[in-house]
Structure formats: C-alpha cells, structure tokens
Structure 1
Amino acid sequence: MNERAAQRRGSPAGKNGKAEATRARILAAGRSVYGEQGIHGTTVQRILKEAGISRPTFYKYFASSAEVIDDIVQSCNAEVEGLFLKVFAQPQKAFYDYLPMALSGYLNWGRSLGPLMTARFRELHDLSSPVSRYRDAHNQRIVTILHDAMQAHGRTPPDGLALETLVQGIEHLGYQFCAEAEHTDMPRYITVMARLCVSMLGKREDWDAMLASPFFSRLMALEA
C-alpha cells in the first residue's frame, strides 16, 4: 500500500460506518468491472458507473483504478490463505482427512468469484498485473501452511520444489474448473487434485485410506 493510500485509509472519514460502506461499494463495483474487463479494461469511469458514485467521492478512497485492483487481488489472496488456515486448524484424525475439505472449499470459493476468477487466471503471467506480482509470495504462504500442517501431524514434508509444484497444480486445476467446467464436475476435479496431493505429500496407502474415508466417499458420490 502506498503512503497516500495509507493516509486516506487512516483518515477520520474512513473510520465511520458511512465511509466504510462507500469504500466497500467501490470495491464491489471494482470486482465486477475487473472480472469482466481485466486490468487493462478497468477504468475509474467504469467503476464510477458500476458503483453509482461521483469521481470526487472515488478519489477520497483510491488514487486510481489500479489501486482498486491491487486491493481486490490482495483480498482474494487473503481469502484463500484464510480458507486453508481454517481447514488445517480443525482437529482431524489423519492428515489426508483435510484434503477433501481443503480442495472442495477452494473450488467453491473460486466458483463464488464468478468472472473475477477468470480474470485472475488470465493475468497469472501478466507482469503488469498484481495477480502476477503477488503470485509467488501468495503461493509461498500456502506452501508454508501445508508444510506446517504436515509437521503438526507428524508428517515429514517434501522439499520446497514438490510443495510449490503441488500448489501451482492445484491453482491451475482450480482456475480450469471455474472457467470451463460445470459445477457437477467438481467430484472429478477433486479426485484429480487429491491424487496430485497424495502423489506429492504421501504414499499409496494414504490414497487407499482417503478412498475409504466416509467424507470422501460422500463427496465423490461413491456410496449408493
């Protein structure tokens, strides 16, 4: 966050409910516009039209459309990280019990973003986009969450390359599911993602045990 933005967000106006509601309104409009237009098509004018506010009002909270997008991308990243932290903080008997919940949670979160998820995917390698700019740090934080969760459950984590590869594979499958698949395809995607997780994090017996898990069986509709 730049100094000017920090000053604006720390201003007395930003502390009252009306100001926070206006800022949230701008961000909601920004999410809609950014999801449809991407970083190169998102302009202040389009955000103003979507939010139904004046230009002076916009500039009380943000310096540019790029700053709005930056906030949106960082918020989305924090949502994913928070999701995984919450899942792995729950008590489970075995480490593989976390995987169906983490994977289904991630896919449901991505699907809830609508076009915004597709915009993120398009900009993974666009160096002008905060999606690309923050990607490595974001993925590394998820790697750390996985690493620490495995250690907490008496597992020996694989090396960093394996964990990074896993996170990028899950990321790609998640984007593909949200952009191209029907919601009813979720079991197929979770199966592939789970196999990827087990191949990187565990052993063959872990896959057999996960298949035998009642939760996994219900999720995959394997029970009659």
Structure 2
Amino acid sequence: MVSGETAAVRRGRPPQTVEQAEEVRQRIIDATAAVFARSGSRGLSVASIIEQAGLARPTFYRYFPNATEPLNVVLDASNDGLVSAIATALSGSDEPVQLGIRLIDAYMDWARGHGTMLRPLFAELHDPGSPVSAYRERALDDIRALVRKAFAELGRRAPSPLDMDAALHVCEYLVYRLAIGTEPATQPDAALTAEARLVMIRVLLVTLGTRDDLAYAMELPGLIAE
C-alpha cells in the first residue's frame, strides 16, 4: 500500500535542482530583455514575457512577482557592466589623454554590447515614467565618482561639476542619437559610430583636459582635424 505522502510526491512535479531553477530564471530574464528590446518597458508584461520564454504563467510567478522585477535584473546588469568597464578603463594607464580615450572606448563597447536593446534603453533614459530613468542617475553618480578618483590618483584637481556633466551628457546624447537613428532590428552605422567616438573624445579633452593634454592629442593621428 502506498502512503498518502508518497502518493502526493509521485503525483507532483519532480523537485528542481539548483541548476535547473537557475536555468529557468535566466530564461525569464533573457525573454524580458528580448521583449524590452522589441517593445520597450511600455510593452513589457507577464504575458509577453512568458510567451517569449515559452513558459507557463505559474512558472513565472515562482521566480518573479511581476514584469518589472526581471527588467530590474536586466537594468542592474547593464549598469554594473558600464561602471565596471569604465573603472577598468580608468585604471589602465597613467597618461590622461589615453585614459580619456579608453573611457570613451569602454562606453562605446558597453553600448555596442546591448545590440537592439540600446534603442529602447536610451529612448527611455529621460522618461520619468520608465524604470530605466532611475538607473541613469545611479550610473552617472558612479561614473562621476570614478572620474574624480582617477583625477586624484593623477594628482590633478577634480573637474568642476559643470565640466563633468557637460562631458557626460554630450557622450550620452551622441549614443542616444546613434540609437534613435537606427532601425529597431539593426546596429548603428559603423562610419557614424566612428565619428561619434571622435566627437566624444574631443569633448572630453576640452571639458576635462589641460593645454598639455591638447598638445599631446594634437600628435595623435586622426584625432584632431588639420
């Protein structure tokens, strides 16, 4: 005779391993990123996520209480990736101009790594109704702190808040232009991306650099127009 407890175990779903549970959780997160890339946060819902993931609704709710929570995981990873990349870039040289170039390249690589998600990400940065906007200020604060730390390590006076924000906002705006000017399913034009990179570096030099930095930059091929 089978006991009631044993029968209940047999009738129920086999318990998941930790690895299986993490796989399902990641599947939900990946589906959330795909829906966000296609429709932005306004088009994000539990229904759209489970359709993308190919999962049942009860399965979703075992991992997340709503559609915003897996989006927060996606945005956390995006912010962490940006701040980490810039921290690494600013620790790779003791030459100020090269540090600035490395910072811009890290920023561009981070943006490029988002693929089609870059478009809605930047489209919603300034939308107070989007969860994306809160992450923007957090990332900017972290980047400001990293730049001030790099200046201190170089023995330089920290840039003024206005100079710092001018540099950050111009860089943000240029990537925003690249993202918005691109078809949803494609990457930004390579030539336009290269031009935007040069403009960002020049802006960084003028707002945060010194005369010596500009003199050094003049010797770098292709950076400053003849």
TM-score by length of 1: 0.83
In structure 2, what is the Cα distance between the partners aligned to 1:25 and 1:130?
A: 21
Q: How does 1:113-128 map to 2 (within 5 A)?
A: 113-128=114-129
My pick for the range that moved more, 35-44 or 107-116, is 107-116
Cα offsets for 1:72-113 (capped at 9, x unmatched): 1222111100110111122x1411112222212221221221
In structure 2, what is the Cα distance between the partners aligned to 1:28 and 1:17?
A: 16
Q: Which amino acid aligns with 1:177?
A: L
In structure 2, what is the Cα distance between the partners aligned to 1:100 and 1:202?
A: 12
In structure 2, what is the Cα distance between the partners aligned to 1:14 and 1:61?
A: 13
Partner in structure 1 of residue 148 of structure 2: 147
Instruction: Report the alpha carbon displacement of residue 205 of structure 1 after superposing the two structures with TM.
Output: 3.1
Given that 1:14 and 1:20 are in contact with CA atoms closer than 8 Å, whether structure 2 keeps it comes out as no
Instruction: Report the alpha carbon displacement of residue 157 of structure 1 after superposing the two structures with TM.
Output: 1.5
* 2:177 pairs with 1:205: no
My pick for the range that moved more, 201-210 or 147-156, is 201-210
- Aligned pair count reads 204
Instruction: Report the alpha carbon displacement of residue 27 of structure 1 after superposing the two structures with TM.
Output: 0.8
Given that 2:96 and 2:213 are in contact with CA atoms closer than 8 Å, whether structure 1 keeps it comes out as no
Q: How does 1:132-143 map to 2 (within 5 A)?
A: 132-143=133-144
Cα offsets for 1:117-166 (capped at 9, x unmatched): 11111112221212112322221111111111111112212122221222
Partner in structure 2 of residue 77 of structure 1: 79
Q: Which one has a bigger Cα radius of gyration?
A: 2
* 2:194 pairs with 1:187: yes
The DSSP-based 3-state class of the residue aligned with 1:89 is coil
TM-score by length of 2: 0.82
In structure 1, what is the Cα distance between the partners aligned to 2:79 and 2:139?
A: 7
Instruction: Report the alpha carbon displacement of residue 15 of structure 1 after superposing the two structures with TM.
Output: 8.5
Instruction: Report the alpha carbon displacement of residue 50 of structure 1 after superposing the two structures with TM.
Output: 1.2
Q: Which amino acid aligns with 2:219?
A: A
Given that 1:23 and 1:61 are in contact with CA atoms closer than 8 Å, whether structure 2 keeps it comes out as yes
**Counting helix residues as a fraction of each chain, which structure ranks higher?**
1
